[in-house]
């Protein structure tokens, strides 16, 4: 179903299905459903005509509560924290957009971030209303992420992740792991943890797998190459923490750290370094590499990749590709907050487009 409200300043409208209930009027329901949103805010939105039903009919404070209908509105956040780091375009064609994401820019709206998210920034800058990420990266993680901006071909690219036909390479800075021969494969069973945004391991049949190799050692720290075979939420972070080598500056693992609010001085040292696949439309080999580096200096003041360039990467250089450099990004508080309104990012189908969890 197409939204009766247009995209506004890069933000698609949220929606909410009205469930069975005894509320006499719509305003009473909204005030109870969203206690963090003042009734005066809903009154102002309704006065502007920005709360409507599926047919685009403006809803009023005294509109009858009608279970089974879907209402649309725009999320609004006051005093949103600016993220002072910029994304870079690596590649664009008629179907996909490939971005080099900085630490700690959220991919999609949620919690206390709306306009300061990668999706909304790109929609505003590039005027691509159908833009949708086809996989995720945590706010804490920098590196390569792929978007679809062509609804007709989106399913073909999503299926690559569902079929595990995408080769992904990450880099992480963590303590040295002694007593292991590299490379090796780590497997474990991962389940939801506590609080809700963390994961944990338990006994049982493994459902997560990561290939781990050593790139370079400098004192007590090492640069690792990580290749996730599966795509569980926080998989790389959980696996390294379980091995006793948590990723530098990880606020969640092995122990949850106090929220640092807007302190951007300690970015998680995890980078989505490269991604490769056979393009489902053209049949060509596609490969993309991040131009960012972790806060780790070798003799050249840059991290050695430790693996050969992915086939075809140099052929993808174009006018859309920016010259990179070292990005000592700084990040805000990384503890996520439940969404204060709606059913997700925009409350719409973009949330359902993801085909794998975030790293």
For 171-212, write each residue's pLDDT tens digit. Answer: 999 999 999 999 999 999 999 999 999 999 999 999 999 999
What pLDDT, on the 0 to 100 scale, is given for residue 296? 59
| E runs forming strands in 284-323 | 285-289
Respond yes or no: is residue 138 known to be catalytic.
Answer: yes
CA distance 136 to 353: 10
Same domain flag for 35 and 166: no
Q: Are residues 150 and 254 in the same domain?
A: yes
| Of the residues 32, 47, 73, the one at which a domain ends | 73
Do 42 and 135 sit in the same domain of this protein?
A: no
Q: Model confidence at 219, in pLDDT bands (50, 70, 90)?
A: confident
Angle subtended at Cα 296 by Cα 117 and Cα 209, rounded to the nearest 5 degrees: 70
Contact 98, 90 (CB under 8 A): yes
Q: How many CA atoms lie within 13 A of 103 on its CB side?
A: 27
**From residue 55, how far is each of 19, 71, 167, 188 by CA, in Å?**
18, 9, 44, 49
pLDDT surpassing 50 at residue 248: yes
- State the residue range of the domain holding 20: 14-73
Averaged pLDDT, 272-284: 97
Query: Which of 28, 45, 73 finishes a domain?
Result: 73
Prediction pTM value: 0.79
**Torsion angle of C-alpha atoms 35, 37, 41, 43, degrees rounded to 10:** -30
CA distances from 202 to 189, 190, 209, 355 (A): 6, 6, 14, 24
Q: Which of 73, 105, 122 is the last residue of a domain?
A: 73
Using a 10 angstrom Cβ sphere, with 0-12 exposed, 13-18 middle and 19 or more buried, the burial of residue 197 is: middle
User: How many distinct structural domains can be found in the chain?
Assistant: 2
- Residues with Cβ within 8 Å of residue 322, at least 6 apart in sequence: 88, 89, 90, 100, 291
* Rounded Cα–Cα distance for residues 91 and 101 (Å): 13
Residue 321 has pLDDT above 80, yes or no: no
Of the residues 100, 138, 250, 329, only one is catalytic, namely 138
256 within a domain of the structure (yes/no):
yes
Kindly state whether residue 100 falls inside one of the protein's structural domains. yes
Contact between 298 and 216 (Cβ < 8 Å) = yes
Q: Are residues 185 and 38 part of one domain?
A: no
Per-residue pLDDT, 41:
94
Q: What is the mean pLDDT of the chain?
A: 84
What digits encode the pLDDT tens for the residues 7-50?
A: 998 998 999 999 999 999 999 999 999 998 999 999 999 999 99
């Amino acid at each position: 179903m197409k939204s009766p409200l247009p995209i506004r300043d890069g933000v698609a409208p949220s929606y909410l299905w009205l469930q069975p209930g005894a509320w006499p009027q719509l305003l009473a329901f909204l005030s109870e459903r969203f206690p963090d949103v003042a009734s005066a805010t809903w009154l102002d939105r309704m006065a502007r005509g920005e709360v409507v039903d599926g047919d685009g009919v403006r809803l009023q404070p005294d509109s009858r509560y009608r279970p089974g209908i879907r209402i649309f509105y725009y999320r609004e956040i006051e005093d949103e924290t600016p993220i002072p780091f910029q994304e870079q375009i690596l590649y664009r064609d008629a179907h996909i957009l490939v971005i080099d994401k900085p630490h700690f820019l959220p991919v999609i709206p949620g919690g206390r971030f709306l306009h300061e998210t990668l999706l909304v920034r790109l929609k505003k800058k590039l005027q691509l209303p159908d833009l949708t990420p086809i996989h995720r990266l945590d706010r804490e993680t920098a590196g390569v992420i792929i978007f679809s901006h062509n609804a007709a071909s989106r399913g073909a690219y999503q299926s690559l992740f569902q079929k595990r036909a995408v080769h992904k390479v990450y880099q992480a800075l963590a303590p040295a792991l002694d007593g292991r021969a590299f490379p090796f494969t780590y497997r474990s069973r991962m389940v939801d943890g506590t609080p809700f945004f963390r994961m944990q391991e338990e006994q049982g049949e493994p459902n997560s797998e990561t290939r781990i190799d050593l790139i370079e050692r400098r004192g007590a720290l090492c640069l690792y190459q990580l290749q996730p075979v599966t795509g569980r939420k926080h998989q790389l972070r959980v696996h390294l923490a379980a091995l006793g080598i948590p990723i530098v500056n990880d606020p969640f693992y092995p122990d949850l750290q106090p929220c640092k609010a807007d302190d951007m001085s300690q970015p998680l040292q995890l980078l989505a370094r490269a991604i490769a696949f056979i393009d489902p439309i053209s049949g060509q080999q596609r490969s993309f590499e991040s131009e960012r580096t972790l806060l780790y200096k070798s003799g050249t003041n840059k991290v050695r990749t430790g693996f050969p360039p992915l086939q075809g990467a140099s052929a993808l250089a174009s006018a859309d590709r920016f010259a990179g450099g070292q990005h000592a990004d700084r990040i805000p508080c990384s503890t996520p907050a439940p969404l204060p309104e709606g059913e997700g990012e925009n409350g719409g189908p973009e949330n359902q487009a993801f085909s794998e969890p975030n790293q």
